[in-house]
Structure 1
C-alpha cells in the first residue's frame, strides 16, 4: 500500500522536559504554532484531540483520536479511518534526551490508503510546509524557554 510520510528529526538545544512542556501545553499552541493554532485534548488514549489546522486558505477544524501516550517522551494520534481502506493517518511526537541540556525531537506523519495519492497531490506540499513550520516553531519555542530559564 502506498504511503505518504513526512518525518523530521531535530536536535534541540533544550532539555527533553522543556520540549515536552511545549508540545503538551495545548492551550498555548496559538502563541507559537503556525500550523495548529488551537488544540484541545486530555492526551489520554481513546480520547479525541480537536485542532484548528491551517492547511487551506481558511483554517479547518479537525478531530482525531489519541492512540498512545508516554509521559515525558511522546504521544500519538490518528484520524478515524475512511471506510473501505480509502484513507488513514498516523501522527506522533517522540522526544529523547541527547546529552546535557539537549534532546532529539522526532515528528512523524503518514497517510495510507487508496485515496492517499489524491490527497498527496492536492495537499502534499501544504502538509510538508505545515509540519516543517510547526517543527521549527517547537525548536524555537523550546530553546527560547530554556534560554530564559537559564538567566
Structure 2
C-alpha cells in the first residue's frame, strides 16, 4: 500500500470556536474558499458530503466523502475514495488547537493511500498549495465575521 501525506499549519487570529463556525458553515464555502469551492452536507459522523475542489490547473474535482470525526472546535475529518476504495483514498483533516494568544493553531492535512498514489505525485504537489491558499482565506474569513 502506498501512502503520501500533506500537512500544512497556520496560526489564525480567531478563537477555536470562531474558526470552527467558519469551517462548518459549508454553505458559505463558495463565498471565501479558493480550494474547496463547494461543500454540502451535514458535519456529523457517518454523513456523506458533496465536495468540489478546484485544482491548480483550473479543473474541478468532485468527491463524496464520508465524515469520520466531528469534535466541535477541535477537529473535523472525512474520507474520500476514488472508486471502491484502495485505489486512491484521502483522509482530509482539520485539527484546531487553542493558542496562548487567544488565537488558534490549525493543522490542515490529508493522508492519501492506495495503489494510484505514485501516479498522482504531480496532483499532490499542487494540493499542498491549495491547502495553504485555503488556510489564508480561512484567516480572512474568520476576521470578517468577528
Establish whether TM, by shorter chain, passes 0.5. Answer: yes
Partner of 2:32: 32
Partner of 1:134: 134
**Aligned Cα root-mean-square deviation (Å):** 1.8
Give distance in 2, aligned partners of 1:83 and 1:12. 36
Give distance in 1, aligned partners of 2:5 and 2:68. 18
| Cα pair distance change 1:54/1:78, threshold 3 Å | same
Give distance in 1, aligned partners of 2:26 and 2:93. 15
Partner of 1:103: 104
Partner of 2:144: 144
Secondary structure at 1:80 match in 2: strand
Tell me the matched-pair count: 145
Q: CA deviation at 1:77?
A: 0.3
Give distance in 2, aligned partners of 1:97 and 1:30. 26
Tell me if the contact between 1:12 and 1:143 (Cα under 8 Å) persists in the aligned partners: no
Secondary structure at 2:34 match in 1: coil
Partner of 1:57: 58
Q: Normalised by the size of structure 1, how large is the TM-score?
A: 0.86
Structure with more of its chain in helix, by fraction:
1
Tell me if the contact between 1:15 and 1:100 (Cα under 8 Å) persists in the aligned partners: no
Give distance in 2, aligned partners of 1:104 and 1:144. 18
Q: Normalised by the size of structure 2, how large is the TM-score?
A: 0.89
Secondary structure at 2:45 match in 1: coil
Give distance in 2, aligned partners of 1:42 and 1:136. 24
Partner of 1:19: 19
Give distance in 2, aligned partners of 1:45 and 1:7. 22
- Structure 2: unaligned runs, 5 residues or longer: none
Tell me if the contact between 2:63 and 2:81 (Cα under 8 Å) persists in the aligned partners: no
- Structure 1: unaligned runs, 5 residues or longer: 147-151
Give distance in 1, aligned partners of 2:4 and 2:10. 20
